[in-house]
Amino acid sequence: MQTRNIKGFTLIELLVVIAIIALLLAILMPSLKAAKKRAQTLVCLSNLKQIGMAANLYANDYDDRIPRGAGGGNDVLWFIEFLPYVGHGKNVSDYKQVDIYKCKSFPRSGTGIGGIPNSRQTVCYVINGWEFDNSSDTTGHSITKSSKVTSFRRRASIAYLTDNESGEWRPVIESEDSADLSRLDIFMPSHLPDSTDETGLTSGRRIAKDRHKDGCNVLFLDWHAESMKAEDITIKNFRYK
């Protein structure tokens, strides 16, 4: 009776194959991570564009006015006001279910003010609440009342929403009753992404410095969205006077 010689991999051959696979993974992993980040940036831009469409519809229904600032209390909040325009009823707690209010690149690890985990963040964008008295005013002040879209002359370069910064000096908004709702707006130079202020609840940086590569995404008042480098986002992107 004839016997067959059954050949298999030797231990050395198996180790060589494993080593080749490990090498290929090491080469591909940076590319896969970069592709994932690019995809998250595009999703975030899509979120902002959809919010822009909601803002435009809202303005059509409210005499060309849109929410500004984030004062909390009796002041209107954009993410509550836009609920009927993003497929939800105006039950304020519904905003937590709106996926386009959350940036995929917002860090899920780490904590905000009071040690609240970043994973509980429900609003990943901050709003332009900056008002200037005149064209020579370089400081400005906060505003919470609504504004007419047509009052802004350079709408294609004026920011409406930007990526919300994360950090121990930043609030994590868990619900419509969160104590720090008033800290979701931008109204001073130290809120800009090139600011190094990471200390104060009021003055600390509020626009993400490097959420998407070396900057963040911005929704403008003509309702287009784009990625911008941190150093390119300046006061001029928030003023209409």
Q: Per-residue pLDDT tens for 58-77?
A: 999 999 999 998 765 556 89
The pLDDT confidence band at residue 200, using thresholds 50, 70 and 90, is: confident
* 212, part of any domain: yes
- Model pTM? 0.85
Of 1-5, 65-69, 94-98, 205-209, minimum mean pLDDT range: 1-5
Q: Are the beta carbons of 122 and 95 closer than 8 angstroms?
A: yes
Q: Are the beta carbons of 85 and 66 closer than 8 angstroms?
A: no
* 52, part of any domain: yes
Using the predicted structure, report yes or no on whether residue 36 has a pLDDT greater than 80.
no
The pLDDT confidence band at residue 21, using thresholds 50, 70 and 90, is: confident
Q: Are the beta carbons of 64 and 148 closer than 8 angstroms?
A: yes
Spatial separation of the C-alpha atoms in residues 66 and 127, rounded to whole Å:
11
* 20, part of any domain: no
What is the total residue count of the chain?
241
* 45, part of any domain: yes
Is the backbone of residue 152 left (phi > 0), alpha (psi -120 to 50) or beta?
Answer: beta
Q: How many CA atoms lie within 13 A of 70 on its CB side?
A: 27
* 60, part of any domain: yes
Residue partners of 187: CB distance under 8 A and separation at least 6? 69, 129, 130, 131, 140, 141, 142, 143
Spatial separation of the C-alpha atoms in residues 238 and 128, rounded to whole Å:
6
* 49, part of any domain: yes
* Domain count along the chain: 1
Give the domain range for residue 153: 41-237
CA distances from 2 to 5, 7, 141 (A): 10, 16, 94
Q: Are the beta carbons of 138 and 59 closer than 8 angstroms?
A: no
Per-residue pLDDT reduced to its tens digit, 179-196: 898 899 999 999 999 999
Spatial separation of the C-alpha atoms in residues 158 and 235, rounded to whole Å:
10
The pLDDT confidence band at residue 4, using thresholds 50, 70 and 90, is: low
* 10, part of any domain: no
* 64, part of any domain: yes
